[in-house]
Amino acid sequence: MKFRDAQIVLHIRHYCLVVNDAVGRLDNDYKQFTKDEVLRHSISMCLMQIGELSGRLSEKFKDQTMNKVMWGAIRSMRNWFAHEYTKMDLSEVWESATRDISSLLAFCNETIEANPDAFTFPEIPEDDE
């Protein structure tokens, strides 16, 4: 696994955790989601960031994992947020946040566990000053 892909997976995982936290703050309640503009925008921005990051993964990584993650759909979500933000269907955003993010988070965690060397950083030697 390329170092760059590993870094992107870590960032995607972070945004998944933020989405899960926001959904939890809403008590997993769609009506609360529609009323809380701040958390709604937070979730939407995280989904957009995940889509942006997915476009930076190597083609090799996406090809190797396309049976586990629908990278094209994730990227399309990003484009939808970026270009059609005022026309967003809140129920689709909620569905992505409550259904799709958990499987993406599981994928990220599995990828990290399966490739420990890609996520291990060499120790920096101490200065002898």
Confidence of residue 122 (pLDDT cuts 50, 70, 90): low
Of 98, 30, 104, residue with least CA distance to 73: 104
Length of the chain: 129
Distance CA 3, CA 109 (A): 16
Distance CA 58, CA 1 (A): 10
Give the pLDDT mean for 101-109. 97
pLDDT for position 118 = 84
What is the pTM (predicted TM-score) of this model?
Answer: 0.86
* φ, ψ for residue 10, nearest 5 deg: -60, -40
User: b/e for 85-108, b at 16 or more Cβ within 10 A?
Assistant: eeeeeeeebbebbbebbeebbebb
Domain ranges of the chain: 3-113
Output 50 or 126, whichever has higher pLDDT. 50
Give the pLDDT mean for 32-37. 96
Residue 129 has pLDDT above 60, yes or no: no
Count how many Cα atoms sit within 13 Å of the Cα of residue 38 in the half-sphere of its side chain: 2
Between the ranges 59-68, 78-87, 116-125, where is the mean pLDDT highest?
A: 59-68
Name every residue whose Cβ is closer than 8 Å to that of residue 35 and which is 6 or more positions away in sequence: none
pLDDT for position 6 = 94
Q: What percent of the chain has pLDDT over 70?
A: 92
Residue 1 has pLDDT above 90, yes or no: no
